[in-house]
């Protein structure tokens, strides 16, 4: 039986041989070259990575690309929805609008933490399917709200569903896609751009034709004259239910093989891989024996195995005990197991937190800002406001595609698209990892620059132009951030890692409407704050020590 060390050496020899023969291969080693992962888990994960690489990118993965994209669409759609209806609901209910965003952001926080950790407890399958259902039910119900308290409460409840999409969906997609196609996790952000575009397109006719006019001072706005936002919520909530039906009844999601392996259910993991291969019309050489060969550490005694050194307790009690250790710090500690891993995790938390404040601080109130600035320029009608919102949404779509291309460029990659930085000694090709930093920093900094430039606009068209630049670069930035984070977490802790960074994002997102309650949204101050946060995030991304470009995620 080969030892763990021999398997690792064999992987390195195979990679070296492929490079010498000029074959473009995928290095299936973990991005962490230290002892941050359990060696048995790491060896089994490599075997599963090799199996999916053997199967290739087939029909199952492309269908998964579509249904996982529904989660990205929902994640961007609903924050946009609350921004789009903000003026209308404030006119009707006469309350402080940021409370609507606050309610939703509290729900997003709960959803991110609950579903992210929950997917590590009961699996990806149920979490993946039920989040859209929760969103659709409560969003549709919100269309019938008779007061702002009901609306804000239902916004918080639909936020619980929305908040679980990215932590779960990114893990699901990453655990089925072959390593050679992990860049598609970035391309998935095109669905994120579609969410904004879809919301803007539907809102444009409904809110421009069925809304009370915005006047200063505000004039009475009865429900009968302000049905547009209700129609909008009915339409978007209904869409979520349709997408849930497609996920649950049309596409069958198998449980993640890496999740099953992490639970000690090796036989089920092998069966899933074989089913995916059959679905794709290919074959896999994966066998249960291959996983079991590395299931025991060399030289380990039966007593040591009983203590959990190499054989996991797969009982219900054992699973619950392991997963509840998230709250006692064990799983969190595994994300900080080494100095470099701790540095990487800490920086990701900071990046998600700062972006979590910067993005909603501007994006959540951009419609109101455009309307008031447009009024200053003499063209602040509801029609013009939503026309501009559609234009901004269209601009974001090619940004997502460009992000998927940039993260695979030899001199850009993840960190490059995320930021400009120096190389680490992570691989045999330091320049390729120097490249990976450039993207995030570049486009994060550009996002901040465009926001600063928007404050100089003296015409409505100039304001729209600067915001188009912001929309383009921010979609690239978010696409890379959403992709690089789950890639840097090992599968056994990916749900927890995703939950932590998503929770940091949502916690700071809660601060945005609180700031808005005390800020004058008709001034440029919120934009300056948001732009500064983007610039700071870009600089922080320079310090990321790992880059997953060209490496299989474990």
Asked if pLDDT for residue 403 goes beyond 70, the answer is no
The answer to whether the CB of 170 falls within 8 A of the CB of 498 is yes
Domain extents for the chain? Answer: 59-254+335-543
Highest mean pLDDT among 23-37, 85-99, 392-406: 85-99
The answer to whether the CB of 200 falls within 8 A of the CB of 388 is no
The CA distance from 414 to 501, in Å, is 17
Q: What is the full DSSP assignment across 405-458?
A: HHTTSTTSSHHHHH------SSSS-HHHHHHHHHHHHHHHHHHHHHHHHHTT--
What torsion, rounded to 10 degrees, do the Cα atoms 219, 222, 225, 227 define? 120
Highest mean pLDDT among 25-39, 265-279, 322-336, 499-513: 265-279
pLDDT tens digit sequence for 259-306: 888 778 899 999 999 999 999 999 999 999 888 887 654 334 344 344
Selection from 74, 84, 283, 101 nearest residue 169 by Cα: 74
* CATH label, 59-254+335-543, candidates 1.25.40.10, 1.20.1250.20, 3.30.200.20, 1.10.3720.10: 1.20.1250.20
The answer to whether the CB of 104 falls within 8 A of the CB of 83 is no
- Longest Cα–Cα distance of the chain, Å, equals 80
pLDDT tens digit sequence for 416-443: 444 432 222 223 323 333 334 455 666 7
Average per-residue pLDDT for the chain: 76
In our burial notation (b when 16+ CB lie closer than 10 A, e otherwise), range 332-347 reads bebbebeebbeebbeb
| Structure confidence at residue 235 as a pLDDT band (50, 70, 90) | very high
pLDDT tens digit sequence for 21-53: 333 344 444 444 444 456 777 788 889 989 999
Asked if pLDDT for residue 238 goes beyond 60, the answer is yes
At residue 150, the pLDDT reads 96
Q: Which of the two residues, 29 and 467, has the higher pLDDT score?
A: 467
| Structure confidence at residue 247 as a pLDDT band (50, 70, 90) | very high
Q: What are phi and psi of 130, to 5 degrees?
A: -90, -20
The answer to pTM > 0.85 is: no
232, HSE (Cβ side, Cα atoms, 13 Å): 29
At residue 410, the pLDDT reads 52
Which range has the worst mean pLDDT, 179-183, 258-262, 428-432, 476-480? 428-432
């Amino acid at each position: 039986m080969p030892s763990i060390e021999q398997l690792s050496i064999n992987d390195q020899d195979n990679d070296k041989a492929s490079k010498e023969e000029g074959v473009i291969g995928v290095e299936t080693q973990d991005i962490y070259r230290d002892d941050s992962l359990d060696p048995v888990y790491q060896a089994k994960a490599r075997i599963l990575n090799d199996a999916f690489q053997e199967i290739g990118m087939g029909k199952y993965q492309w269908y998964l690309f579509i249904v996982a994209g529904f989660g990205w669409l929902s994640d961007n759609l609903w924050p946009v929805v609350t921004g789009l209806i903000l003026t209308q609901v404030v006119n009707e209910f006469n309350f402080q609008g940021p409370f609507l965003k606050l309610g939703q952001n509290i729900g997003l926080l709960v959803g991110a933490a609950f579903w992210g950790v929950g997917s590590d407890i009961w699996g990806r399958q149920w979490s993946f399917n039920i989040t859209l259902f929760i969103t659709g039910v409560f969003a549709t119900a919100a269309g019938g709200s008779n007061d702002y308290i009901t609306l804000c409460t239902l916004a918080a409840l639909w936020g619980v569903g929305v908040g679980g999409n990215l932590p779960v969906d990114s893990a699901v997609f990453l655990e089925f896609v072959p390593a050679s196609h992990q860049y598609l996790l970035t391309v998935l952000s095109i669905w994120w751009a579609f969410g904004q575009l879809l919301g803007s397109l539907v809102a444009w006719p409904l809110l421009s034709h069925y809304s009370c006019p915005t006047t200063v001072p505000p004039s009475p706005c009865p429900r009968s004259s302000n049905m547009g936002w209700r129609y909008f919520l009915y339409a978007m909530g209904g869409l979520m239910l349709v997408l849930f039906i497609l996920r649950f009844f049309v596409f069958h999601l198998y449980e993640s093989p890496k999740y099953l392996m992490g639970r000690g259910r090796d036989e089920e993991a092998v069966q899933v891989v074989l089913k995916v291969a059959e679905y794709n019309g290919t074959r896999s050489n994966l066998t249960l024996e291959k996983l079991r060969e590395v299931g025991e550490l060399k030289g380990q005694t039966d007593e040591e195995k009983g203590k959990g050194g190499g054989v996991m307790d797969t009982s219900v009690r054992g699973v619950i005990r392991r997963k509840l250790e998230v709250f006692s710090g064990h799983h969190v500690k595994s994300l900080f197991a080494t100095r470099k891993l701790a540095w990487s995790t800490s920086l990701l938390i900071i990046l998600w937190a700062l972006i979590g404040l910067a993005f909603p601080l501007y994006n959540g109130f951009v419609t109101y800002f455009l309307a008031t600035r447009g009024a200053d320029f003499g063209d602040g009608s509801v029609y013009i406001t939503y026309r501009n919102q559609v234009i901004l949404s269209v601009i974001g779509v090619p940004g997502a595609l460009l992000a998927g291309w940039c993260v695979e460029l030899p001199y850009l990659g993840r960190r490059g698209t995320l930021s400009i930085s120096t190389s680490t000694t992570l691989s045999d090709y330091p320049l390729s990892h120097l490249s990976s930093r450039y993207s995030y920093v570049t486009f994060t900094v550009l996002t901040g620059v465009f926001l600063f430039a928007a404050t100089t606009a003296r015409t409505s068209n100039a304001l729209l132009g600067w915001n188009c630049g912001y929309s383009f670069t921010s979609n690239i930035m978010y696409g890379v951030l959403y992709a690089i984070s789950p890639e840097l977490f090992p599968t056994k802790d990916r749900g927890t890692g995703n939950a932590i960074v998503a929770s940091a994002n949502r916690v700071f997102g809660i601060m945005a409407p609180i700031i808005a309650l005390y800020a004058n949204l008709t001034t440029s101050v919120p934009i300056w704050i948001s732009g500064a946060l983007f610039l700071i995030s870009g600089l922080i991304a320079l310090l990321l020590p790992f880059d997953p470009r060209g490496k299989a995620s474990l």
